[in-house]
Structure 1
C-alpha cells in the first residue's frame, strides 16, 4: 500500500501546526515583531540538530485545580479539515532476529526438544555456520500452579454424623471434669490455713469498709463495700505476681499428628495439690487463675460472702468448632513475620560482622568535618538483667476466673476482677469477643462457700439467646435437641435433650430448698435474658427463642393466621426486608396420621395450613436408597388416612380434637381391619375396656374365654418397612380381675415347673456322680459285679416310674419338658 495518501482525523497535531508555521518553524503571527523572528531563525541555524527535550512541568499554583477535558471541550479537537493533512511513505527497516546459542553444558537429546510453529521466517544466513537454533519453550503451567497454590485456602474436611455425636459426648465428659475441678478449688478457698495466711494482708480500714455497719443507709453500705473492694483489689494486685500460665480454651485437633507433636507450655500452672495452693498463698505468686482463687479466699477470711466464678473452657460441641493451629515445625505452615525478620537480621549480621565500623568523622559528609575534634562518647551502661519472673505472654485479655461479692444492702451479686481487667460491678466487661481464640464464655458457673453452684452465664453474655446459647450443650443447633422432648406420660416436654442433661448435671450442686436470695437472683437473670435486644442480622434469628423469621421455619412449623410482625430485617444492604415474628406465634403442624398417633383427629371441614411436598429419598453411591435418612422414621409412611399425590396436608392443634374410640358393648372389644386395636396413648382405650400390658395377658384371656384385642402401641422402623409393636391386650372391664388372677396362676405354675426342672437336673447330676464312684470302686477295690448290676437295675426301674408320674401330671400344655434340653440343664 506504498504511495497511498490517507486522510487523518481533524485533530490538532504537531505536524499540522508546523504546516501552518513559517520557513523557520515559527508561526506567522503578526503580533510578534520581525526582529525577534530573525533572531530566532539565526539561532536555529547555528544550533546542532538534537532530539527535542521534554519540556519541564509547570508548577501548579496554590489553590489551582487541574482542569480535566470534558466531552464538550476536547483539547485534541482541531478545526482543520482532513484534506489538509498528508502522510509520507516511510520505509520500515527489517526486523532484527535475536538468536540464542546453547552451551555445551545444556546439550540435550534431539528427542527431548520440542519445536513450536513460528510465524516469523528467519533466513539461514542469520545463523553462523556450525550452530543450531535452540527453541525456548515457555511453560506457564508450573507458574500458574505455584501462584494458585499459594493463594488457595485450605478447606477443612466436613465431619460426619458419627464424629458430631462423638464430639457431643466428649463435650459432656469435659464439662463434668471441669465442674469437678472448680468444685475442688472452691473447697481449697475455704481452707483455714490458707485464710489465716492471707488475712494479715488486710488492714483495719479495709476490714471496716468490707463489713459496713448495719446502721448505715442502703446507699452508704453499698459505697462502703465498693470502696473496700477497690482498696483490697489494688493491694492484692500490687503484691501478687503472675508467673505461670492459666487455663485457656480447649481446641479440637485436625488430625492425630497434631496430638503427637503437641507440647505443654513450660510455664503452665503447677498448682495441683492443696499444699501447692498453700505455698502460693504464702509466696503470692502463680497463675492468674490461682490469683483469683486466692482473692476469693482473702475475701472469705474477712467475712465477706464471695463466690468463685469460672468460665468453663470446654471443647466445642458444635460442628464448626475451632481447631488447633499448626505447629511451627510443620513444613506446610508459612513462616511468621518474626521468623522472617530474624532471618533477615541474621543475614545482615553475618554479612557485615567482619567489616570495621566507620568512625564518627568518616560518617560526617562535610569536607571540613575532619578538622573538628569530636569528643569521645562513652557507651551507655548496659541494663541490668532482671532476675524476676518473665512476663506471661499469649494469654487472653479476659479472665477465666473471677469473684462475685454479695451486696447485702441490695441483695445482689456483683463481679470483681482484681488481676486481669481490674474492674468491679461491670459484668459485661468480662465477656471476650468471638475473635478471641484463647477464651470463650459459654458456661459461667458460680460456686459458693457451702459448695452449691449456679449457672450465671446470662449475667455476663451480651447476646445469650442469639449467640452464646448456640455454643452450649442445651443450644437449639445441636442435632439431638432439634426434636422436642417427651415426658413419661407421652406429652411434649418444654425441655429438649440437651437442657434435660444439663439440669441433671447441675442437680448435684443445687440446694435442697432454694432461699429467698436464690429466687431474687433467678428473677434477675430472667429479666436480663428478657431485655436482650433484637438481633441485627438474619443468621442470629435462626432457632431464636423469642423471634423467628419465616425463612427459618422448619418443615412442620407454621405461623398462626393472625400473626403480627414485630419488625423487619434486611438480608444485606441490597436484600429485601423480611418480617420478624414472635416465637409464640409459631405452631407445630402435623398430618392426620401424626395427630392420630397422639390421640387426636382433625375436625371435619378443616383446611390444611400447609401442604408438605413429597421428599425424594436420597440414594447412596451404590444406587440403593439410603436407610440412614431421617425420613425412614416418619410415621406418615404407614398411610392409614391415604396419601395425596400433591403432598401431605398438615394441621395445627386448634384444628383437632381428642379421639374417642367406639365403646365396648356386650363384652365385645372393637377391632380394626387387622384384628387389633390402636392404643398409642392411654386416652385411646375404649370406654368399658381396660388395657392389660402383660406378655401372658392374651393367653389368660383365651383360657377364660373372654373377648380381647391385641393392643397396638407403635411401630418400629427398620430400613424401609415398619413393624407393628403389640403390647398386651384390651379386655372388658368386668374381666380384668379374672385375667390378672389367671396371669398370677400361670406365673406361679411356671415358677413351680422351673423349680422341678432344676431338682431333676440335680438328681441326674448326683446319679452320674454316684455311677462314676462305683466304677472307680469296681476297678480299684474289686466289687462284686452281680450285686452292682442288680443295684443299677433297681435304680433304672425307679427312674422310669418317676418319669411316668411326671408325664401323667404334666398339664402345662405349651411349657417345655425337661427332656427337651438336648442333654443340657435348662435355666
Structure 2
C-alpha cells in the first residue's frame, strides 16, 4: 500500500474496523447471491470468492487487490463498501487534507471481474440538406427594363412602318410601276358598275389581283434574305451592324426590281397604289417576347441575320368595295391571295423562334394606322392576347394612344366594316381547347378560375370541356355571367346600400389587414367573416335633404360624398381652397366633405376636400372666397416685406459696427493674410 496516499489508508482502516462491529452492514443483493453460490462449493471456490470480493472492494477505493488488503469476513455474507462509511467517521478528518489530495497520480488497476462494456449506438445518417432550387427567373428591375425595351421597340418599329408606307406613295415610283400594268389588268382591278351581280365583280377583282401578283413575281427578284426578324433578349448585347436603307436606295430597288424580301413586299404595295387599288402595307412587328422571364444564358451566333425566313414580316392588303373585304396578298414568301376566315397561312407556329404574329399593324394610303392582329391570329383571345403588352390596362392605353397619334385620317366606312368583321371573328373563335387558355379569357371562364370576390349568376353553363386522359368534363360559363361582389362598406363608398333582408352571396374570412382597417374606420366589429353582395342586391343611397340650409352630419361632424349622388338634395359641394374659411366667416351651417380615404399600410385616413353648404349660399360663397384669397395674398406680401426690412436692418447694423471698428482700430486690409 505504499503507493496509496496516507488519507486513503486511514479511510480503509476505519471501514474495516466498522465492518467487524455488531452493526449490520448494507448489502448488495446481487453480490450476496453470487457469494452464496461460491460458499456451496469447495475451498477453492471459497478462496476464489474471497479474492473476487477483495478485488471488488479494492477497485471501489482505487487500490490493487494484490497489496496488503484488510481481511473481509465472507462467511457471514458481509461485504464492505467504502462508499457506505458512517457519517460520524467524517468528523475525524480535516477537510483541508482532502483538498490537497493529488488524484491525478492515482492509477488503479482494473479488476479481473470488471469487463469492458460496449454500447452500440445506431446513428441515424443525417439527411443531406436539400439545395434550394435556383429559380432561373429575372428580378423586378430586369422585368421593368425588358418592358421598357419592348415598348420602345414597338414605338420604333411602328414609326419605321409609317415611314415606309409614305415611301410607297412616291409618285416617281408609281410612274415606273404603271408600265407593268396593261390596260386589261387595270380593267380587271376596277370592275365596271354595269355588272349587276356583286359576286361577278368580286371575281373579276380577284382575277386582277392574281394577274398583278404574277406580274410582280416575274419582275421582282429577291437578291438578299436580310430583313427584320424576332430578336431574343440575349441578342441585345451583341453588336449587329446593319446597312441603312435611304429612300434613294429604296426607290432604286423597286424600280430595278431587285432587292430584299421586305422591300419586295413594300414594292408590291406601291404597285397596287399605282393601279389606284385601295391597299395597305401590313407590318408584323417582331419585338422580344415580353412574357419570357428567363435569365440570359447564351447569345445567338453572329450569322443569325442570314437565317432563312419561312414567314413574311411585310405583306399587302387590297380592299374590295363590293364585298367590303380586305384581301391578304403575300407577294414574296407564299405568293398567295387569301380571304381569312379562321386561320391564315401567314401565321407562324408558336414554336417558331424568328417570327411571332403578336402585333400586326396596317398602314393605308390615306395615313390611317390600325392594329389588325385579330385578322391573322387564329387564337387571338386564348393565346395571342397573353403575349401582348396590351394585356395590362395602362399599357393598352399607351398602345392605343400611340397608334392614334400616328393616324392622320379619321375613321371611315371601311374601318366600321372591319370592326364588324373582328367582332364576328371573335365569336367564331369559340371556346379554348385546354385549361390554360381559359385563364383571363374575355368571353369564357371556368368556375375554378374565379376570384375570391366573384360568383356566377346565373350559373348556367354554355358548354362542356372534356379533359384529356380523364373520363370527366368541366362546365364552361360565359364571362358575362361573372358577378363582382363587394362588402357593404365598399358598396357604400360607391353610393349604394344593401336592400333590406338580402342574404350574402358569398362569405369569406377577413385578412389581418382588413381587421386593422376596421379599427381605422371606427368599426369595433370583431367578426372575422366578411359578407359579400352583388350590385343587384343594392340600391342607390339617398342622403337626407338639406332643409333651411341645415346639413345632416355624421358622428365625426363630416358628411360622406364619395360620389356625386351622395350630395344631399338642396345642398352643393364646393371644392375650392378657401371654401371652409368662407363658410366659417359667413357663420352658416356647413359640413366638411369626405371624398375618400388615404390608405397607409394598415390604417385609413379620411381625405377631406371642400365643404357641403345649402344651395342658397352658392352665389355669396365665391365672393367671400375671393376676399379671403386677397387677404391671404396681402398677408404674404406683408410677411415678405417685414422679412426684407429685417434683412436690411441687419445689414445696416453690420455696416455701422464695421465703421466704428475701423474708426477705433484702423482700416484692415482684407487682401493681407
Native 8 Å contact 1:592 1:651 kept in 2: yes
1:548 partnered with 2:548 = no
Partner of 2:6: none
Deviation at 1:325, TM superposition (A): 7.0
Structure 2 gaps of 5+ residues are: 1-130, 664-673
CA-to-aligned-CA distance 1:289-341 (integer Å, 9 cap, x gap):
111111111111122111101112223333x46787723789xxxxxxxxxxx
Q: Which moved more, 1:750-759 or 1:413-422?
A: 750-759
Provide the rounded CA distance (Å) in 1 between the counterparts of 2:252 and 2:655: 74
Match of 2:232 among 251, 272, 281: 251
1:285 partnered with 2:258 = yes
Provide the rounded CA distance (Å) in 2 between the counterparts of 1:722 and 1:329: 56
Partner of 1:234: 214
Over 3 Å counting, the alpha-carbon distance change for 1:160 and 1:650 in structure 2 is: farther
Over 3 Å counting, the alpha-carbon distance change for 1:391 and 1:603 in structure 2 is: closer
Match of 2:570 among 688, 707, 725: 688
Provide the rounded CA distance (Å) in 2 between the counterparts of 1:220 and 1:464: 33
1:184 partnered with 2:163 = yes
Provide the rounded CA distance (Å) in 1 between the counterparts of 2:522 and 2:499: 17
CA-to-aligned-CA distance 1:169-221 (integer Å, 9 cap, x gap):
44333222221111111000011222233333334443333333333343333
Deviation at 1:557, TM superposition (A): 1.1
Native 8 Å contact 1:242 1:392 kept in 2: no
Over 3 Å counting, the alpha-carbon distance change for 1:716 and 1:538 in structure 2 is: same
For 1:530-549, what aligned pairs fall within 5 Å after superposition? 530-549=427-446
CA-to-aligned-CA distance 1:234-288 (integer Å, 9 cap, x gap):
33223322414111113223xxxx644x142x6x5x3532122112223333321
Partner of 1:309: 282
1:587 partnered with 2:587 = no
Partner of 2:361: 445
Over 3 Å counting, the alpha-carbon distance change for 1:768 and 1:615 in structure 2 is: closer
Provide the rounded CA distance (Å) in 2 between the counterparts of 1:315 and 1:640: 51
Partner of 2:175: 196
Provide the rounded CA distance (Å) in 1 between the counterparts of 2:304 and 2:293: 30
Structure 2 counterpart SS, 1:316 = coil
Provide the rounded CA distance (Å) in 2 between the counterparts of 1:286 and 1:444: 23
Partner of 1:648: 530
Deviation at 1:758, TM superposition (A): 5.5
Structure 2 counterpart SS, 1:414 = strand
Structure 1 counterpart SS, 2:503 = coil
Partner of 2:318: 405
Match of 1:326 among 292, 295, 298: 298
Provide the rounded CA distance (Å) in 1 between the counterparts of 2:284 and 2:368: 16
CA-to-aligned-CA distance 1:757-812 (integer Å, 9 cap, x gap):
566777888999999999999999x9xxxxxxxxxxxxxxxxxxxxxxxxxxxxxx
Structure 2 counterpart SS, 1:474 = helix
Deviation at 1:510, TM superposition (A): 4.4
Deviation at 1:535, TM superposition (A): 1.0
Provide the rounded CA distance (Å) in 2 between the counterparts of 1:445 and 1:575: 44
Deviation at 1:470, TM superposition (A): 1.3
Deviation at 1:587, TM superposition (A): 0.7
Over 3 Å counting, the alpha-carbon distance change for 1:637 and 1:553 in structure 2 is: farther
Deviation at 1:437, TM superposition (A): 1.4
Provide the rounded CA distance (Å) in 1 between the counterparts of 2:247 and 2:510: 64
TM-score normalised to the size of structure 1? 0.58
1:174 partnered with 2:153 = yes
1:420 partnered with 2:399 = no
Provide the rounded CA distance (Å) in 1 between the counterparts of 2:150 and 2:518: 35
Native 8 Å contact 2:551 2:590 kept in 1: yes
Structure 2 counterpart SS, 1:272 = coil
Native 8 Å contact 1:248 1:438 kept in 2: yes
Native 8 Å contact 2:225 2:306 kept in 1: no
Native 8 Å contact 1:717 1:723 kept in 2: yes
Over 3 Å counting, the alpha-carbon distance change for 1:547 and 1:451 in structure 2 is: same
Provide the rounded CA distance (Å) in 1 between the counterparts of 2:630 and 2:181: 76
Native 8 Å contact 2:521 2:604 kept in 1: no
1:221 partnered with 2:193 = no
Provide the rounded CA distance (Å) in 2 between the counterparts of 1:155 and 1:746: 64
Native 8 Å contact 2:454 2:484 kept in 1: yes
Provide the rounded CA distance (Å) in 2 between the counterparts of 1:190 and 1:653: 54
Structure 1 gaps of 5+ residues are: 1-148, 331-389, 482-496, 618-630, 783-827
Structure 2 counterpart SS, 1:405 = strand
Match of 1:612 among 508, 512, 523: 508
Provide the rounded CA distance (Å) in 2 between the counterparts of 1:174 and 1:328: 19
Structure 2 counterpart SS, 1:568 = strand
Match of 1:461 among 373, 377, 380: 377
Partner of 1:48: none
Over 3 Å counting, the alpha-carbon distance change for 1:512 and 1:204 in structure 2 is: closer
Native 8 Å contact 1:242 1:285 kept in 2: yes
Q: What is the total number of aligned residue pairs between the two structures?
A: 527
Native 8 Å contact 1:251 1:322 kept in 2: no
For 1:759-770, what aligned pairs fall within 5 Å after superposition? none
Structure 1 counterpart SS, 2:202 = helix
Provide the rounded CA distance (Å) in 2 between the counterparts of 1:636 and 1:512: 53
Structure 2 counterpart SS, 1:569 = strand
Provide the rounded CA distance (Å) in 2 between the counterparts of 1:640 and 1:608: 23
CA-to-aligned-CA distance 1:4-48 (integer Å, 9 cap, x gap):
xxxxxxxxxxxxxxxxxxxxxxxxxxxxxxxxxxxxxxxxxxxxx
Match of 2:499 among 603, 606, 629: 603
Partner of 2:100: none
Provide the rounded CA distance (Å) in 2 between the counterparts of 1:664 and 1:328: 73
CA-to-aligned-CA distance 1:562-603 (integer Å, 9 cap, x gap):
321111113432274211111111111101111011111112
Report the structure number with the largest CA radius of gyration: 2
Provide the rounded CA distance (Å) in 2 between the counterparts of 1:645 and 1:166: 44
Structure 1 counterpart SS, 2:350 = coil
Provide the rounded CA distance (Å) in 1 between the counterparts of 2:481 and 2:140: 32
Match of 1:720 among 581, 584, 602: 602
Deviation at 1:448, TM superposition (A): 0.7
Over 3 Å counting, the alpha-carbon distance change for 1:176 and 1:457 in structure 2 is: same
Over 3 Å counting, the alpha-carbon distance change for 1:244 and 1:323 in structure 2 is: farther
Deviation at 1:413, TM superposition (A): 1.1
Provide the rounded CA distance (Å) in 1 between the counterparts of 2:655 and 2:255: 79
TM-score normalised to the size of structure 2? 0.71
For 1:341-356, what aligned pairs fall within 5 Å after superposition? none
Structure 2 counterpart SS, 1:710 = strand
Over 3 Å counting, the alpha-carbon distance change for 1:507 and 1:637 in structure 2 is: farther
Provide the rounded CA distance (Å) in 1 between the counterparts of 2:616 and 2:399: 47
Provide the rounded CA distance (Å) in 2 between the counterparts of 1:198 and 1:325: 48
1:276 partnered with 2:276 = no
Structure 2 counterpart SS, 1:415 = strand
